[in-house]
Amino acid sequence: MSKINKVVGGIELQWNLETGEALFEGRDVVFFWISAMETFFDTIKDISGVEATQLVLETTGFRQGVIVGEGFKSLKQIDTSNVVEWISNTYAPAGWGKVAIVKMDTKHNTFTLHIQNDWEYKMNLLNNKGAEGIFVPSHYAGVLTGLFGINFWYKTIQYQNDSTSYSVVEYFPSEVTVQQNIRELSRKQEADQIQKLEALVDEHTKSLQNLVRELSSPIIPVLEGIIVVPMIGSYDEQRTEDLIVKTLSELPKHKAQYLLVDLTGLNQQITEHTASLIDKLGASARLLGTEVILVGISPELAIVIAQSQNSLKNFESLQSLQHGIYYALGRSGRKIV
């Protein structure tokens, strides 16, 4: 037989083997093995991730339901008087399992459905993925939306499992739309991405700060008892503390008698904060028995030091590092030969 017509539960099914057509209530349909649908869904998840996949399934199920609801409303004139029978008779012949409206409040437009052995539940059982359906429950929300022309949404009260033979899903008018869910996911993904980028920037910033601390103001023992600390760039509170702690901890190790603070790298600028730093460093070094000598003094720096409210002008100041080393040697009774 090349043409076959069957009526199941009031639904007409037609097959035409000559043209390769399968019709469900006069409209083209295709059939899939549940295992093939599982592969299809798994592919979406592999590409999009779990969270995006759930939104895709929910949105697709809802939108397909709207098409079905609107289509059958025009074909069968479905309303609240016959919607219970129509849903039960329509979806079982299509392989969607058993579905029944067990409670309906026409005044508030609320529905409670029992959904049993639907294809999504069977698909999830294939690889023990759990029985929490997304596509099918949202599909019926779309069906009700298409039938009654108001937006419905859903809440799953319980899922079908080994101890419960059906899922219980409540449907109700709602302002929640799939478009809102898509926008919310997009905003969440954008926020997550921004958070990841901020964490990455913070990580790199900390790495750079650690590198700067290691490279800036190194402790250089040039000769026995003589230490040089070059000051480079500007000094905030953190760099100031690092410089003082690092320098003072190194002085006893090297038995430093003279600490040469090289100001050449300050770009001819000493702020009040920097001057206070040098003053504090010098006073602390003196307590450890180390004399502080300022070197790398340019004419501009000399003016700033002279006008400073700090006591920098009380330090021995020399024009270059070379002069400072010779000076320290002379004070200690030594010379380079």
What residues does each domain of the chain span? 1-30, 32-176, 186-215, 217-331
Highest mean pLDDT, choosing among 138-147, 199-208, 211-220: 138-147
The least confident of 62-71, 142-151, 220-229, 304-313 is 304-313
Q: How far, in Å, CA of 33 to CA of 144, rounded?
A: 27
Return the structure tokens found at 328: 């320290």
Q: How far, in Å, CA of 233 to CA of 228, rounded?
A: 16
Contact by Cβ (8 Å): 90, 76? no
- Which residue(s) pair with 28 in the sheet? 23
Average of pLDDT values for 28-35?
A: 85
Strands lying side by side in the sheet with 21-24: 3-8, 11-16, 21-24, 27-28
Average of pLDDT values for 179-197?
A: 65
pLDDT at 257: 92
In this predicted model, what pLDDT tens digit does every residue of 211-237 receive, in sequence order? 666 656 678 888 889 999 888 877 777
Average of pLDDT values for 106-129?
A: 88
pLDDT at 84: 78
Q: How far, in Å, CA of 71 to CA of 93, rounded?
A: 17
Same fold, 32-176 and 217-331: no
pTM here is: 0.54
pLDDT at 168: 96
User: Any idea what DSSP says for residue 117?
Assistant: S
Q: How far, in Å, CA of 75 to CA of 69, rounded?
A: 10
CATH superfamily of 32-176: Trafficking protein particle complex subunit 3 (3.30.1380.20)
Q: How many residues make up the chain in this entry?
A: 337
3-class state of residue 26 by DSSP = coil
Residue 337 pLDDT exceeds 80:
no
Which CATH number does the domain 217-331 belong to among 3.40.50.970, 3.20.20.70, 3.30.420.40, 3.30.750.24?
Answer: 3.30.750.24
Q: How far, in Å, CA of 22 to CA of 16, rounded?
A: 6
Q: How far, in Å, CA of 124 to CA of 131, rounded?
A: 6
**pLDDT, mean over the chain:** 83
